[in-house]
Amino acid sequence: MSSVRPLAILGGTFDPIHHGHLRAAWEAAEALEAEVRLVPARTPPHRPAPVADAAGRVALLRAALAGQDRLTIDTRELDRDGPSYSVDTLASLRADIGPERPLVLLVGADAFAGLASWHLWRELFTFAHVGVLNRPGVTHTAPPELADFIAGRRSERVHGAAGTVIDIAITPLDIAATAIREAFAAGSEPRFLLPSACFDDESLLAPYRALGR
């Protein structure tokens, strides 16, 4: 483990935040002995517009994270126009923390499999390590372009400021925001897939309940 505490980020649409995200981020913080920030995307690059707007998704995140301080929110993507490219976020974080501190981009195994389609994806590794979180049901393997690139970059732990791929074993939780949105659309309440605090304020989940009307 590096002597400087790594900074790790989990970016996401969080439409809405759920226990799959939270537990993954929590266990990554433990495994890497890292500070972990959740980074909501204002305009996620590779998907249709989210159901809830950025302010609504951040309000849910704040409710979900209340009562603990290991996981925090970093809202820098909300201040940028255009697609929320991760390479821009990592460049901005690197400028904040300087060249030495390890930086880790956390991604689920599904997101990792698509990494070679991301904007300037090779540059991600100049700014950060990539930490891959296992996800139930994900069977995609890295396409050849990605597999070739990461060959020789695998690491068991955080070593140096950037540039490696680290597999992080987490408790598999088969929870996805898509299924939560589908549950709301079907008129059911997906309680216990996301924190109860998200249900405390009626207005927080209103955009999702509206799917069922």
Ligand X SMILES: Nc1ncnc2c1ncn2[C@@H]1O[C@H](COP(=O)(O)OP(=O)(O)OP(=O)(O)O)[C@@H](O)[C@H]1O
Ligand Y SMILES: O=C(O)c1ccc[n+]([C@@H]2O[C@H](COP(=O)([O-])O)[C@@H](O)[C@H]2O)c1
State the residues that interact with ligand Y by CB under 6 A. 11-13, 41, 44-47, 84-87, 111, 118-119
DSSP state of 211: G
* Burial annotation 146-157 (CB, 10 A radius, 16+ → b, else e): beebbeeeeeee
Q: Which of ligand Y, ligand X, none sits in contact with 8, Cβ below 5 to 8 A by type?
A: none
Q: Which of ligand X, ligand Y, none sits in contact with 46, Cβ below 5 to 8 A by type?
A: ligand Y
Least Å from the CB of residue 120 to ligand Y:
8
Can you tell me the distance from the alpha carbon of 20 to that of 10, in angstroms, rounded to the nearest whole number?
12
Reference 116, options 137, 147, 159, 155; nearest CA is: 147
Task: Mention every residue, 6+ apart, whose C-beta is less than 8 A from residue 177.
Answer: 13, 14, 15, 16, 18
Task: Mention every residue, 6+ apart, whose C-beta is less than 8 A from residue 197.
Answer: 63, 64, 66, 67
Q: Which of ligand X, ligand Y, none sits in contact with 118, Cβ below 5 to 8 A by type?
A: ligand Y
- How many other C-beta atoms can be found within 10 angstroms of the C-beta atom of residue 189? 11
Q: Is 95 or 141 the residue whose CB approaches ligand X more closely?
A: 141
Least Å from the CB of residue 106 to ligand X:
7
| 133 part of the interface to ligand X, by CB under 6 A | yes
Stretch of residues binding ligand X (CB under 6 A), selected from 18-26, 146-154, 186-194, 197-205: 18-26
Q: Is 31 or 42 the residue whose CB approaches ligand Y more closely?
A: 42
Least Å from the CB of residue 187 to ligand X:
19
Reference 166, options 178, 158, 175; nearest CA is: 158
Q: Which residues bind ligand X (CB under 6 A)?
A: 10, 12-15, 20-21, 24, 107-108, 110-111, 133, 135, 173, 175-178
